[in-house]
Amino acid sequence: MTHRITVSNQKGGVGKTTICLHLAVALADRGRDVLLIDLDPSAYLSVHLGLDEDYYEENENSLAYHLVEGSRSNPEGTILNSDEGVDVISSNYDMRGVEDRLSAERNREMRLKMFLDEVDEDYDYTLVDSPPSLGILYDNAILACRRVVIPIKDEDMSIISIHRALDEIDEIERAFRIDAEILAIVPNLVRPDGVAASTLEGLRNTDGVKEYLTPFEIRQRVAIRRAMKKRTTLYKHKPSCDQTENFEKLADLVVSKCEGDP
């Protein structure tokens, strides 16, 4: 059975797509079969992987179609290969209308789970890149995966904003009577002049936060932004960058939490 994980945060620009991609590639490097799902209507992940060619074309075998109509035929036909060694189900223009179209539907929050149940059985990991807002798609990601990696950005690094992110997940757990596991809260875009080391140190000593916060943080590096802009990964663009090891550490943490220590 596959381990499903969503990289979620209701805020945009915190590094969800960047972390989702690097985590996926790091897991693939560890010999795992990985399926990446782009659940964001902006389709940044799909664009990044060069899989946005048909973005504006109506497609009866798109993720949006399967979420709205339910899977009728050939759900595996949505799976694309990428040059990064991971398989991908891309987003397209129709994803913009999915929340509206689902708003009055039965089981609207369960659509992604129902779809994934048909396609991801043979993968070791399914990673869902979540949209930057609360709503039906966000709920779908949590309900389908039940394991969450939460990136937080340097400027938002406070107990209040971490609690806000955790509260959203709590609310879904209560509303749908499920248990979701927070695999990691990952400080990202950490600048030398930004959040003081003491703030991070304080968070690492705060009950209710310290349990989830990774013992490493991903620093802001031009090489990461450039790698994403060049539609590649840091591993390929600048393997010597000091932050590759933090993506590796995240992959190791995810493996040990999902598969247990060897």
Residue ranges that bind ligand ADP, judged by CB under 6 A: 12-18, 44, 132, 188-189, 218, 220-221, 224-225, 228
The listed partner (Mg ion, ligand ADP, none) that binds 18, CB under 5 to 8 Å by sort, is ligand ADP
Determine the residue type at 71. Answer: S
The listed partner (Mg ion, ligand ADP, none) that binds 255, CB under 5 to 8 Å by sort, is none
At its nearest, how many Å lie between ligand ADP and the CB of residue 11?
7
At its nearest, how many Å lie between ligand ADP and the CB of residue 174?
25
Whole-angstrom Cα distance, residue 5 to residue 234?
21
Whole-angstrom Cα distance, residue 97 to residue 44?
17
Whole-angstrom Cα distance, residue 179 to residue 142?
10
Question: How many secondary structure helices (H) and strands (E) does the chain include?
Answer: 11, 7
Whole-angstrom Cα distance, residue 51 to residue 54?
8
* Distance of alpha carbon 234 from the chain centroid: 17
Nearer to ligand ADP, 18 or 92 (CB): 18
Nearer to ligand ADP, 75 or 132 (CB): 132
Whole-angstrom Cα distance, residue 160 to residue 194?
17
Position of minimal CB gap to Mg ion? 17
At its nearest, how many Å lie between ligand ADP and the CB of residue 3?
21
Q: What is the bridge-based pairing of β-strands 79-81 and 3-7? A: unpaired
The listed partner (Mg ion, ligand ADP, none) that binds 189, CB under 5 to 8 Å by sort, is ligand ADP
Whole-angstrom Cα distance, residue 25 to residue 160?
32
At its nearest, how many Å lie between ligand ADP and the CB of residue 177?
28
At its nearest, how many Å lie between ligand ADP and the CB of residue 148?
14
Nearer to Mg ion, 44 or 212 (CB): 44
The listed partner (Mg ion, ligand ADP, none) that binds 214, CB under 5 to 8 Å by sort, is none
